[in-house]
Amino acid sequence: MELRQLQYFVAVVEEASFTRAAARLHLAQPGVSAQIRQLERELGQPLLVRSGRSVTLTEVGRAVLPYARAMLAAAQGVRQTVEEFTGLLRGRVAVGIISGAAARGFDVASVLADFHDAHPQTEISLVEDSSERMLDALRHGELDIAAVGLAEEAPPPGISFQVVIDKPLVAAVAPDDPLLADRERTSVPLAGLRDRPLISLPRGTGVRGVLERACAQAGFQPRIAFEASTPYVLARLAARGLGVAVVPELPDDIQAGIGLRTLTITHPRPRGRIALAWRTDDTRTPVARALLAQLRTAFPPSRPLPPL
């Protein structure tokens, strides 16, 4: 009995087809069939029922399947352990990031490039999506690490995170906005935005979740007039007088460059937070663990400002 025979057997079961299993394994279908027949001869029992185009397990096959998977997992564990001790990292790691996160002070691309330079045998995939969908992808093992916006104070079950950016949300407006009638004004209570058209990130983002929860706490539902995927676009819309953009605190040069003014939002004082997130259980591969460690070092925990 060989590991590759068990690998072919498991692939056929999972694909329910010799043809699809061969394509997944990048092998010719006759070779896969021949190896599984050889395995069945060695065991003295058929493992699969071949009926036309469908493939199902025999009773013996159902009993053998968990042992085959366990043996393959054990072999992979041996390889990974040796690679960790020798410092050789190889394999694939999937990373997710929210739109606009790769801004000043959060240069994920450079960290990924440095990691790949140090470990050229690794394959890194990067996707951009909403925080809500990426947290779901983490839970289902489709992502290893994600930079997400946080809508809640505590992480969802099964997820750990490290907050790397923590900024107050501000109301960004054009210089002639009525909120600036008092030139000395530096803040606005959230209730003061009750009847104003708001410009916000889409649903499923951390900032949008924080905004909706804060508005509910203040006793009203936000009137969202425009949505965009990055805070900078929201700020530009506000600078043209299309509404009040609720965004994380912006650098002074960006505000000046587009002719924007910002007011701190109070009562409550919502915050925009970005965090590195990963599954709490230890199912990550050595390459994912190594990249997470490098990201956590590059972007240490953020210390929020004290509340007003």
Strand 224-227 to 198-200 pairing: parallel
Distance, in Å, from the CA atom of 274 to the CA atom of 284, rounded to the nearest integer, reads: 22
Rounded alpha-carbon distances, angstroms, from residue 129 to 87, 111, 295: 32, 19, 19
Query: Would you say residue 97 has pLDDT above 90?
Result: yes
Please state which architecture CATH assigns to domain 3-86: Orthogonal Bundle (1.10)
Mean pLDDT, the chain, integer: 88
The total of other beta-carbon atoms located within 10 Å of residue 157's CB is: 7
* pLDDT tens, residue by residue, 187-232: 999 999 999 999 999 999 999 999 999 999 999 999 999 999 888 8
The total of other beta-carbon atoms located within 10 Å of residue 16's CB is: 13
* pTM across the whole model: 0.69
Residue appearing with tokens 């003295």:
44
Is 3.40.190.10 the CATH number for 167-272?
Answer: yes
Percent of the chain with pLDDT over 70: 93
CATH topology identical between 91-164+273-298 and 167-272: yes
Distance, in Å, from the CA atom of 271 to the CA atom of 307, rounded to the nearest integer, reads: 10
- Taking residues 273-289, what's their average pLDDT? 84
- The confidence score (pLDDT) of residue 307 equals 43
What is the CATH code of the structural domain delimited by 91-164+273-298? 3.40.190.10
The domain segmentation of the chain, as residue ranges, is 3-86, 91-164+273-298, 167-272
